[in-house]
Amino acid sequence: MADHDYDLFVIGGGSGGVRAARISAAHGAKVAMAEEYRVGGTCVIRGCVPKKLLIYGAHFAEDLKDAKRFGWQVPDCDFDWPTLRDNVLADVDRLEGLYQNTLDSHGVETFHQRAVVTGPNEIELADGTRKTARIILIATGARPAVPSCPGHEHGITSNEAFHLDSVPKRIVIAGGGYIANEFAGIFNEFGSKVTLINRGGTILRSYDESVRDRLLQISVKKGIDFRFNAIFEKVEKRDDGTLVVHAKGQDPIEADCLMFATGRRPNSEGLGLEALGVEIDELGAIKVDEDSRSTVPSIFAVGDVTNRIQLTPVAIREGHAFADTQFGDNPRRVDYHCVPSAVFSHPPIAAVGLTESEAKAQYGTVKVYSSDFRPMKNVLANRDERALYKMVCDASTDRVLGLHMIGPDAPEILQAAAVAVKAGLTKQQFDDVVALHPTMAEELVLLK
């Protein structure tokens, strides 16, 4: 230990890196961290947290309309984007301060500058200072991927969406994943004319077909325009600042803003890793074993830079398991089975376990139970928007293999239900629970 400046040096101050640093320090390790942008990472600074706050803000568009059906004499309301934007960014600043305080209180030395790896146990900071550590942890996350078509520089990504001067009257969103569909819902509720273009033929490929089709139906009814099998050709910028987006097989689309939500790529470039023998896959992800160790024994990696499951809670689990294993005398590994996920669209989707097609491929014969209903609030609000809950079971054992939901508060409901799926409970054990009435969640124990 005395041969190095630190026991652990973490490169990257996101959720996984901060958790690894904090827990390692709590175990008695001498820890340092380098973060070139802001402590908190994608989730806190430019991802999950500010996006969810925008989603809350966007939902008021529907809530204010529905309120009149519930007797509230709500006047027509104007939306002020700068107020929401600035309040969201202020909360991000608050959270960043909390993350920094956590590191400081645990004795983690923080360098607010870029760091690269110059040896198996050596790090060079942007100011030229060199530090050594027994273990180096790479937790640099991922970044938005942008197509390389002519004019792509005229577009933005989700990073910049939180800082727009105004809500665009017309926005084209490229992509079919969760980020694309979430921002499509956000901007649509804020009054933008939203066109979502996707190079493939479907949205949300990793989700069950039933719920993603339901989201598509609802989104179209809300006024979002979808263009499928559309491959970018070029983006033109006019003298007045407006854009014209050209995609193969599509009419040109005029827009005031173009947002790329076409996937994310691990941030492994320029860190000096490959020169040291750290293996990187074709997408830029650091190859690691079950203990998050790379092909260089002293270099580890956690979170999105490893491209295992790109979710904040997974990165946190990986960082914690790494710290416990390396410094806490408590070797353990992350269990990636039955990781729940959500799409905070309008309405939201939540899922855990296998889709129907995945279950059929693995188990052969499955039983599917579902409930297709209109939530009570939507009924009184005269909103023709239906929720769908779906349970996929092993036909031979009755064990629940997957739960898939779309509807109000679906992610909140699924978090508890995911415990049951992870535990391997059966459909009958769900049915044995008395329904909690009147709720939407009761449909999970009444599925037919």
| Tokens coding 34 | 């380098």
DSSP secondary structure string for all residues of 59-84: HHHHHHHHHGGGT--PPP----HHHH
Burial class (CB in 10 A: 0-12, 13-18, 19+), 420: middle
Phi/psi for 74 (5° steps) reads -90, 120
If we measure between CA atoms, which residue out of 122, 121, 123 comes closest to residue 36? 123
Q: In this structure, are residues 305 and 12 in contact, taking their beta carbons and an 8 Å threshold?
A: yes
Prior bond of 438 cis (ω within 30°): yes
Position 322, amino acid? F
Neighbour count for residue 411 (Cβ, 10 Å): 17
Q: Is beta strand 130-138 parallel, antiparallel or unpaired with respect to 6-11?
A: parallel
Helix (H, G, I), strand (E, B) or coil at 47: coil
If we measure between CA atoms, which residue out of 189, 164, 185 comes closest to residue 173? 185
Distance CA 316, CA 165 (A): 33
Q: Exactly one of 163, 246, 346, 437 is catalytic; name it.
A: 437
> Between the CA of residue 99 and those of 13, 26, 102, 104, 318, what are the distances in Å?
9, 15, 5, 9, 18
Distance CA 237, CA 222 (A): 28
For helices 48-67 and 178-189, what crossing angle results, to 10°?
A: 40
Q: Which residue has the tokens 């630190």?
A: 6
Distance CA 165, CA 233 (A): 28
The yes-or-no answer on residue 106 being catalytic is no
Q: In this structure, are residues 121 and 7 in contact, taking their beta carbons and an 8 Å threshold?
A: no
Q: In this structure, are residues 391 and 428 in contact, taking their beta carbons and an 8 Å threshold?
A: no
Q: In this structure, are residues 278 and 296 in contact, taking their beta carbons and an 8 Å threshold?
A: yes
Which sequence positions are flagged as catalytic? 437
